Chain A
Amino acid sequence: MNSIVCIKQVPNTNEVRINQETGTLIRDGVPSIINPDDKNAIEGALKIKEELGGTVTVITMGPEQAKAALREAMAMGADRAILLSDRAFAGSDTWATATILAAALEKIGETDLIFCGRQAIDGDTAQVGPELAEFLDIPQVTYAKEVSVEKGRVRVTRYGEFGDYIMEARMPVMLTAIRELNEPRLPHVRNIIGAWEKKEIEVWTMEDLTIDPTQIGLKGSPTNVFRSFVPVREKQSEIIQGNTPREKAALLLDRLSSQKLV
């Protein structure tokens, strides 16, 4: 059972700050992490490998620093890591990113399972996985909270707002993982050393892939950022003054009932 896991290195958005004057992100000192849903995707692939054998390949697109995310994935137990890095890839939207990933997956060749995280915490689009599956012409099940492989078929419990669906698919299939899928393991010490010493990270550029250059990068991306801004909120706040919790609670209820809210 061979799996590929597509991951993304993201800034920890809990710690991102905004320069209010310029409206830009302050990334200094903000740690980069493997996107949380992608960790569930890695764990999902590793569990299946432990049960049924095979390999787990992790792949990401990004600058040189993204190697840290791949090393961490190898320390969790991934066998092979590939970094897709080229100036021509910069500025890619989800269409362009999925185009590049699809070219890389075609080069890797036969695969049974492709795992992605549901969505990344920086962009929150949840689009690359399904676009990738579309470009590879393979089926997909998103929002996977349980995955098992039986008799060559994949059984997936898919989250739904009004109740879960149990789906079955032949392989290859692309799955997107959500937090409920599993509890990602911590990197193993033995693997951490291995990830730095033994295993090489392969770096693939534009030259290694068969890609139509009109479909990637800033220029090839169908969507562009028109502008970005810091959200502003304006409200007249009244801090209720009182001597005791009781008095404050009563004054609050007075306010709310005068507005006919309670």
Chain B
Amino acid sequence: MSIRVNLIKPEEARRQGVVGMKFLTYVSASTAVAILLIFGGLSFMRYETGKNDLTAALNIWETREPMYNKSLKMKEDLATEKRFQQELRGWQAARIEWKPLLIELRKICPPTVQLRRLGIQGDLFIKQKPAAAPVDGEDSAKAAAPSLGLAMRWYTITMDGKAAGAMAEDIVVQFVRAFGSDPLFKPLFEKPPQLNSLQRDTTQGPDQPVRIFTIEGSTQKREMREPRAGQSP
């Protein structure tokens, strides 16, 4: 008969394995602490780098911001100035330069025709363009950028005169034709100018064949808008 007596106290017992329980506990705790330290250190480094980058970027922005704002203001002013000049060019495009036309009128007027009265009357039409509603995703301020709307000028030219001579009527009719087909006047008119009246001048004696007449013509409507490239005003 054999008896096995366990003389080892429980606290003296050793764990059966490669490493002991104490070692495992220490290594686990140290690994956790080491991982935490490495991770924390790396994060701290990244944080410090980021902070430095942010400070550097803030310094750069501090220098550039006034320049950028100045540049933006300059662009804004430039756009306003261009728009204003565009408006003035529109005014210029809508006007008719009368000097060459008055010289030409004197040239085409037959010697037996006397112009008694010359009237040029300008009319102006203006209409606002409704503001376009902003489409999805479009900046409302940009969408509301005003357009110049529609404005146009046109002129009515009226001439009263008298023609003397045997063929006074024919001369007046020829003058009307010459007026309408003249290379300077023709492009201006919407339709050829018309003879409104032609009658005998009753203030003259019967032996003096004098005819008094009225001619009227209207020009095309001229938009107060900057002419497009290649388009003559």
The answer to whether A and B belong to the same complex is: no
Chain B residues within CB distance 8 Å of chain A: none
